[in-house]
Amino acid sequence: MGSRNSLLLCVLVFAVVSALFTGHPEAAWPLAQIDDYLLNILIMAGINVILAVSLNIVSGHTGQFSLGHAGFMAVGAYGSAAVTQIGGKPILNALSFLGGAAPICMFVLSLLVGGLLAALAGFAVGLPSLRLKGDYLAIVTLGFGEIIRVVIQNTEAVGGARGLTGIPAFTTLGWTWGLAAFCIYCVSALIRSTYGRGFLAVRDDEIAAEAMGVNTTKYKVTAFVVGSFFAGLAGALYAHLIGYITPEGFSFLKSVDVVVMVILGGMGSTLGVTVAAILLTALNELLRQAEQYRMVAFALLLIVLMIARPQGLLGGIDRWLQARRNRS
Amino acid sequence: MNEFLQQLINGLSLGAVYALIALGYTMVYGVLRFINFAHGDVFMVGAFSGMYLSRWLKPLLAHWPEWLFAVVVLAGSMAFCGVLGIVIERLAYKPLRERPRLTVLITAIGVSLLLEYSGQLLFGAAPRGFPSLIESRSLSGLGELHATNIQAFVLTATALLLGGLHLIVMRTRMGLAMRALSLNPTAAMLMGVNTNVVISFTFGLGSALAAAGAIFYASLYQAIEPFMGVLPGMKAFVAAVLGGVGSLPGAMVGGLILGVVETLVVGYSKVLGIPPGYRDAVAFVILILILLFKPSGLFGKQQREKV
C-alpha cells in the first residue's frame, strides 16, 4: 500500500506544481516556461496514464480482458466536445452569471458529461458481456468498440467521418495530471475496499468466488463502469487538447496501444502501469522518426514478453518495494 | 424477386470467403481451445503471396489455360500460408501450451500486429491492385441476373475445397486424430496420438484455407493492403461463433449466412432504414445477439464448465 500512496503523492505534487507554474500563460507564477512541444507530450503522458490505469481496473484487477477501451474514450471525447463545441454558446450564456469562471465551469461540465456518457456505455457493454469469458469477451468488447466507431462515423451531427473540429483548447497540464492523480487515488482506494476484494476474487477464480457468495456480475459491471468513466475523462481531455477528433483516431489500434501499456506495466499493478504509460508516451515521441518500425518492435516485444515474462516488465514492482520496506 | 436473387449471388460469394476463414478459427479452437487472433492476417499474407506468385508465374505459364493458372497460384499461396501457419504455431504458441488462455490471446494479438506492420513495411500502406487471374466475364443464360465467371469460380472452388476438407477430417488417420484431440486432448495423447504433429497440421490446414479465401476475396474486390485481414478476420470469427465454434459444418453455414445477411442489409438499406455505412457493424450485432441468446451457436454443443 505504501508504494501506492507515495505514487499518488508524487503525481499530486506534480499536478499542483504544474498547475501553478505552467498551467497556461496566465498561470499564477509562470516561472518555468517550457516549450509547447514538451508541454503537449507531458499532457499526453497524463492522458495515457488515465487510460492505462482505468483499463487496468477492468483487465488487471478484475481479469476481464477488454479490447474496446478506445470506444469508451471516443464516447467521452465526443460527449464532452458536444458540450463545448456544439453547445458552446448557449451553455456559456447560461453560465454567464459565473463571470470569468464560466469557461472553466463549462469545461468541468463537459468532462463530467463525457465521463458519465462513457460510464453509461460501459454499463451497456458490461451487462450483456458478463456471460462471456476470456477470448469471447475480448472479441465482444472489440466488436462494441467498432460499433461505437461506426455509429459516430455515420452520425452527421458530430461531423461523421470528417470528424469534429474547433474544440476549444481547455486541457492544461494541471487539469490532466490532477485528474490522473484523482484516477490513481480512486483506483487504489477502490482496490483496497470491499469492492476491490470482490474484483480480485473474480479475477483469481470466478467459480470459487461465486461459490463463496460473491456477486460476480455486480463486480464485473462495476469494474466496467468505473473503467469506462475514466476512459471517457481521458477522451474528453484528449479532445480539448488536440481540438480535432475523428472516429478513425479511436480505432482498434488505439485500444491496442492502451493494452500494451497495461501488459508492459504488469496487469494489476497501478504503479507499474503508470510508469509504463509515461515511458511508452516518451518512447513514441522518440521513435517518431522510425514510425514504421515502432509497431513492429512493439508487436515483437508483446510476443517475447508473453513467452518470457508474462507478468510484464514492471509487474511485481509494488510487491518488491513492499518486501524491501519490510526488511529494513 | 430478381433483385433478391442478385443479392443472394453476391452474398454467397462473399459468404464463401468468410466460410473459408471461419474454418481456420474453428479447427484451431477445436484442438487448442483458443482464438487465433492472427488468422485474419494470415489471410492478408495469402493475398499478397498470391499477387507475387501470379506476377512471377505469368511469363512462365503464359500459354496455360487461365483456370489452370489460377489453380496453380491458389495452390502455391495455400502452401506458403500453410507453412507460415505452422511456423507461427511453433514459434509463438507452442511455448505457451500450458499457460493461461489470456497469455496466449495476448500473444496472438502480438502476432497479428507483427504481421500487419511487417506487411506495411514490406508492401507499403497504400492499397495495391490484385492481378486478375481470370478475365472477368458475365455469365450468359441467367436472364436479368448478373453473375461473373469469377463468382462461379469462387463458388465451385470453395465447394471443392470444403469437400476435400470433409474427406481429410472424416476419412484419414490425421483427421481422426484431429477429432480425437478436440474431444479430449489427454485421452488422445494416452492413445498414442502425437499431439504436436496434429496441432501443426491443423494450423497448416486452417492457414491454407484462409489463403484460398484471400485469393477469392482479392479476385472479387481487386484491391489488397496490409490491414485487409482485420475486418474479414473478425467477421469470419463471428461466422464461426454463429455456426458454433468447433463445428466444421457450423463454420461453413455461419460464413454463408453472414455473407448473405451483410449483403442484404447493404442492398436493402433504404427499405430497412439502415444506412449502408453500418455494413461493418452488422456482423458485431449478430455476434452479440448470438452470444446472448444461443452462445453455443447453431451447430455447437453446449459445454458445461467443470470445476
pLDDT score, position B13:
92
With cut-offs at 50, 70 and 90, classify the pLDDT of residue A3.
low
**B107 to chain A, closest Cα gap in Å:** 5
Chain B residues near residue A134 by CB distance under 8 angstroms: 101-102, 105
Higher-confidence position of A31 and B181: B181
Least confident of A76-80, A104-108, B77-81, B220-224: A104-108
CA distance A128 to chain B (A): 7
* Confidence band, pLDDT 50/70/90 cuts, at residue B119: very high
The CATH number of residue B283's host domain is: 1.10.3470
Mean pLDDT of B253-275: 89
| Nearest CA-CA distance, residue A140 and chain B, Å | 7
Please give the average per-residue pLDDT across B181-193, as a whole number: 91
> Residue B88 domain-assigned?
yes
Asked if the structure places residue B304 within a domain, the reply is no
CB-closest option in B35, B114, B307 to A303: B114
The reported pLDDT for the residue numbered A23 is 47
Q: What is the ipTM of this complex?
A: 0.85
The answer to whether the Cβ–Cβ distance between A300 and B92 falls below 8 Å is no
Kindly give the pairing relationship between strand B223-224 and strand B128-129: antiparallel
For chain A, the first-to-last Cα distance in angstroms comes to 16
List the 209-268 stretch of B: residues with Cβ below 8 A of A. Answer: 230, 234, 237-238, 241
Q: How far is B182 from chain A (nearest CA, A)?
A: 18
Question: Helix, strand, or coil here: B98?
Answer: coil
Is A2 in CB contact (< 8 Å) with chain B?
no
pLDDT for position B73: 93
Flag whether B306 is in a domain: no
Cβ within 8 Å, pair B292-A256: no
Residue B241 with chain A: CB contacts under 8 Å: 136, 139
Tell me if chain A has a CB within 8 Å of the CB of B114.
yes
The answer to whether the Cβ–Cβ distance between B113 and A259 falls below 8 Å is no
Answer whether B105 sits within 8 Å of A135, measured CB to CB.
yes
pLDDT digits (tens, 9 = 90+) for B54-64: 999 988 888 88
Q: Looking at the 3D structure of chain B, how many domains does it have?
A: 1
- A156 touching B (Cβ < 8 Å): no
Least confident among A65-74, B14-23, B94-103: B94-103
Given B35, B112, B307, which is nearest A207 (Cβ)? Answer: B307
Angle at B151 between CA B149 and CA B156, to 5 degrees: 95
Whether A202 contacts chain B with CB within 8 A = no
pLDDT digits (tens, 9 = 90+) for A272-310: 899 999 999 998 888 887 877 888 888 898 899 888 888
CA-CA-CA-CA dihedral for B215, B218, B219, B220, to nearest 10: 130
Can you give the pLDDT at residue A32?
Answer: 53
Share of chain B above pLDDT 90, in %: 55
- The residue whose grid cell reads 499457460 is B99
Q: Is residue B132 part of a domain?
A: no
Query: B292, A128: Cβ pair inside 8 Å?
Result: yes
Read off the DSSP letter of residue A204. H
Read off the pLDDT of each residue in B61-86 and give the average, rounded to a whole number.
92
In a domain, B128, yes or no: no
**pLDDT band with cut points at 50, 70 and 90 for residue A16:** low
Residue B307 lies in a domain: no
Kindly give the residue spans of alpha helices, DSSP state H, lying in B191-243.
195-221, 230-243
CB pair distance less than 8 Å for A259 and B106: yes
The amino acid at B199:
I
Average pLDDT in chain A: 83
Long-range pairs for A40-43: beta carbons < 8 A, 24 or more residues apart: A40/A241, A41/A281, A41/A282, A41/A285, A42/A18, A42/A173, A43/A171, A43/A172, A43/A173, A43/A176, A43/A237, A43/A241
Residue B8: which domain range?
A: 2-123+144-293
End-to-end CA distance of chain B: 53
In a domain, B130, yes or no: no
The mean pLDDT of A45-65, rounded to a whole number, is: 92
Mean pLDDT of A249-265: 88
Distance separating alpha carbons of residues B213 and B47, to the nearest angstrom: 9
- Contact between B95 and A307 using a beta-carbon 8 Å cutoff: yes
> Using the beta-carbon criterion (under 8 Å), do B121 and A293 form an inter-chain contact?
yes
Confidence label for B198 from pLDDT (cuts 50, 70 and 90): very high
Q: What is the pLDDT of residue A6?
A: 62
Examine residue B303 and state whether it is found in any structural domain, yes or no: no
Q: Is A259 on the interface with B (CB under 8 A)?
A: yes
Report whether pLDDT(A137) > 90. Answer: no
Task: Report whether pLDDT(A316) > 70.
Answer: no
| Pairwise CA distance, residues A189 & A192, whole Å | 5
The predicted pLDDT at position B188 comes to: 92
